[in-house]
Chain A
């Protein structure tokens, strides 16, 4: 009996491993096939073609995630280890975070297509790069923060047993950063589905690209006004996201539980049936063992620079004659400023030749309109979701059921739903300036909901019981008990929602259904129109205006709110 169960378990585990390997192989093979830039690959609307398209989309996500991890490990490590690199890299990361990803997609597509002329690899890489830019920044930030906050005693211990930098990185720094990194990977992944769908079918000027994938499938469905195809795409995407969660992230989270650095046991230990299956299957154990041993050897190798007494004395002698640290700092700063100034000058030359002050005024006015919409939509989402989130979060049974749904909705690429909404607007001849903007927040409002749920369910029971026993009235309960309690969570959710809304504006302020085109005005519509026309200077202008607005909003609104949240809710 037990024997039978054992082999069944092995069979499932092996099937999972080989199935995924074969799928990756097929997908990669097709990505390398030649394509001709002027004639887009025909996209079939048959539901039978969808599984393959979905696979291609999922693989793009995977490739982007791997790229993001590599970037994170190198960029963030450099920033954390070198003070001078930090001076440049961290502000740069801050700026990159606020550039709307879909805005510069048109630039990168042209770049990558030119890099691999005549091959599908070019647009393929452009799409992967777009997803990468939506995932990498917050992961790098999280890793950098973790590296900066490795506990002194662990660091001292590592130094006193004379671990090399390479050993310390894998033994101490990566494990310590792991919980934060995995959380950010999940958030990135959840945001990434939106961009993978948006970046598959792009037309910049007369360059039209439709990569085989769910995004292109939907774009084609819009062209021919096929609502049922949109429905199939939504179904396929749902299955893909659920599988991704079950097969990749749940096992990852359950596995990463051991990296929690608090020495106390967790109240709820995350579990995953896939991980349990793999851990208990003896065959997988057998296959995994050599990899684990190899990994251990790799990470515990010392890998130190060849050092001899002569080299050391040379370094010491050089240090003796080196300039004082402050002078080097100034020189380094001067180099950075010069390079930035040069780039700025080049940019103004490129842009200034074809733009006038009038263009800036138009872009700014459009920006103001979109800003107003983002603020208004976040406010409406707040009024709707905060009470619901609190109501759900205070009921553990309900939380267990609603929270996964909210997280799923946040991950689901809302742009797949756009055609359905647009169809209704066209059908009932609704005003696009009023009915299109809500699409911006359609996908990102869920971040507010699930953060508020998380906040409410983490609210200390004794504080709630105290409020109940003093019979505090409803208005006061909201004002002085619950709202301050969930505030930090809410701010986190609202920042994500607003950031996502900016990005979504590019694909939601101007939409089409067949040949009907709807335009709600605003900066997103501006960038979309300029992209369709291939007007690079104005795309750049639109992106720049949007980035400045995002940065301004972060500095003037979100960061102060965040600081207040941090200070007010501390008890130590």
Chain B
């Protein structure tokens, strides 16, 4: 694909991005990202929430300026949103007070076309994207799929060279998402779009493999490129084909291997106190353990298979797997997940026994929870403000991750009856 003649449409070099912590110190979210998209290519950015993939897309779109590094669009430095780059948003981002037609015309506002010409192009875009007949409707009258079609029409009406898609199908139901994907791929492979290159941000592995020519897997904390995978399959691709599955499995392997590696690494740093905890409810953990313990898995399953059968996307599944790994109720290796002895015991136990097991594992394997319990026991008042722990965590986690981690610790601690928490006064209290 990368012949020397084929200059990249967009080229990101050594991109770093840091946001300010409440204390004013910078907190890196992206570290030394190098990526380029060439003519005729769909590039996928795959990663979990918090890996900075949406930030990266916004940097490519000129909405966010990188802290350091360079963005070259068609060879020239990019300063702010540019002509020829269009974005499709996860939430559609339609103006509810404008009709479909007016929403699409808005995509041409910056070009200062005569009104008649703008209307003609908008109608053409509406036709092409399969919205004809809906031009006078308001977004609230439309279904989710139709709304996102408006989002596509608005992006495509200005004949963009580069199309940036930020999880465009993730707010849609499975069937609608599939229809929209195929419709887009049909337009793309038939070369009916003036668009030269596409960047697709997603957390859906199958979607990435279905649509992209090349996939970058982003790792988190701070976001970096963990792996690059080429998908050499011709379009249209067969979801049931063996080659398709091989690529999906490869990506699952990469993502789960990272969890195991992270758990080992984080456990040592800072006495394990500041490790990120995924805020998964104990109900979900229990439900997943039961499903995994039952037939046909009997405590052992390929991650891709159990995810598909439970209808979980990678964004739902990885936090569960990570939490179980952290609690040593399950073991994640080579894209398969296996219950430990404790995990099997948990699956069979009654409520009281489950709580006891959970309590023991929390105190042993989750240093933050043990730390909170320890502080509460030590203090005469048996109380501690939330700010105290927030402060400790914020040194190493960003504020979103800090809140999530505390949410997880509070939920787990409450379930295990290790401590209580009052949200009005924001204080932890010892449970006895």
Contact = CB atoms under 8 A, between A and B. Distances in A.
A462 interface: no
A162 B110 contact: yes
A338 B295 CA distance: 77
Contacts of B97: 175, 178, 258-259
Contacts of B86: 160-161
A160 B85 contact: yes
A568 to B, nearest CB: 8
B183 interface: no
A263 B147 contact: yes
Interface stretch (A151-159, A190-198, A203-211, A450-458): A151-159
Nearest to B139: A263
Nearest to A167: B109
A156 B89 contact: yes
Interface in B80-97: 80-83, 85-87, 89-91, 93-97
A260 interface: yes
Given A162-B81, A163-B110, A171-B106, A157 B96 contact: no
B237 interface: no
B106 A156 contact: no
Nearest to A293: B115
Q: Which of A157, A162, A172, A178 has the most CB of B within 10 A?
A: A157
Given A156-B87, A161-B107, A263-B96, A258 B81 contact: no
A157 B97 CA distance: 15
Contact of B96 (A156, A167, A259, A297): A259
A74 interface: no
B63 interface: yes
B96 A260 contact: yes
B95 A175 contact: yes
A4 B344 CA distance: 82
Interface in A160-181: 160-164, 167, 171-172, 175, 178
Contact of B61 (A151, A160, A262, A297): A160
A44 interface: no
Q: Which of A160, A164, A172 has the most CB of B within 10 A?
A: A160
Contacts of B91: 151, 153
B95 A154 contact: yes
A471 B107 CA distance: 57
Contacts of B300: none
A351 to B, nearest CB: 43
Contacts of A258: 96-97, 138
B93 A300 contact: no
A476 interface: no
A496 B91 CA distance: 37
B58 interface: yes
B25 interface: no
Interface string A212-245: 0000000000000000000000000000000000
Contacts of B154: 157, 161
B140 interface: yes
A265 interface: yes
Contact of B93 (A154, A259, A568): A154
Contact of A160 (B63, B98, B147): B63
A300 to B, nearest CB: 6
Nearest to A156: B63
Interface residues of A, number: 29
B108 to A, nearest CB: 8
A302 interface: yes
A261 B140 CA distance: 9
Nearest to A570: B423
A93 B234 CA distance: 63
A161 B106 contact: yes
Contacts of B381: none
A349 interface: no
A567 B115 CA distance: 49
B387 interface: no
Nearest to A162: B110
Contact of B81 (A154, A160, A175): A160
B93 A157 contact: yes
A359 B147 CA distance: 67
A38 interface: no
B173 interface: no
A473 B138 CA distance: 47
A528 B376 CA distance: 60
Given A175-B95, A259-B96, A159 B63 contact: yes
Contacts of B85: 160
A260 B107 CA distance: 22
Interface in B51-108: 58, 61-63, 80-83, 85-87, 89-91, 93-98, 106-107
B158 interface: yes
A349 to B, nearest CB: 42
Interface string A41-68: 0000000000000000000000000000
Contacts of B95: 154, 171-172, 175
Contact of A153 (B93, B107, B112, B158): B93
B424 interface: yes
Contacts of B81: 159-162
A151 B109 CA distance: 20
A78 B80 CA distance: 23
Contact of A161 (B58, B96, B109): B109
Interface in A244-274: 258-265
Contacts of A260: 96
B87 A160 contact: yes
A258 B109 CA distance: 22
Given A157-B93, A263-B140, A302 B158 contact: no
Q: Which of A161, A163, A178 has the most CB of B within 10 A?
A: A161
Contacts of B138: 258
A162 B106 CA distance: 10
Nearest to A161: B107
B93 A156 contact: yes
A392 B97 CA distance: 34
A151 B96 CA distance: 12
Contacts of A261: 96
Q: Which of B91, B115, B424 has the most CB of A within 10 A?
A: B91
Given A153-B93, A157-B93, A258-B96, A163 B83 contact: no
Contacts of A154: 93, 95
A359 to B, nearest CB: 45
Nearest to A175: B97
A16 to B, nearest CB: 25
Q: Which of B61, B97, B147 has the most CB of A within 10 A?
A: B97
Contacts of A164: 110
Contacts of A567: 424
Nearest to A256: B97
Contacts of A162: 81-83, 109-110
Interface string A518-539: 0000000000000000000000
A156 B141 CA distance: 23
Contacts of A302: 109-110, 112
Contacts of B140: 262-265
A-B interface, 10 closest residue pairs, ranked by CB to CB distance from nearest: A162-B110, A157-B93, A153-B93, A175-B97, A160-B87, A153-B91, A259-B97, A263-B140, A162-B81, A258-B97
29 contacts: A151-B91, A151-B93, A153-B89, A153-B90, A153-B91, A157-B87, A157-B154, A159-B81, A160-B61, A160-B81, A160-B86, A161-B110, A163-B106, A164-B110, A171-B106, A171-B109, A175-B97, A178-B97, A258-B96, A259-B96, A259-B97, A262-B96, A263-B96, A263-B147, A264-B140, A297-B115, A300-B109, A302-B109, A302-B110
Interface of A: 151, 153-154, 156-157, 159-164, 167, 171-172, 175, 178, 258-265, 297, 300, 302, 567-568
Given A161-B110, A258-B97, 8 more contacts: A154-B93, A157-B154, A159-B81, A160-B87, A172-B95, A260-B96, A265-B140, A297-B115
Interface of B: 58, 61-63, 80-83, 85-87, 89-91, 93-98, 106-107, 109-110, 112, 115, 138-141, 147, 154, 158, 424
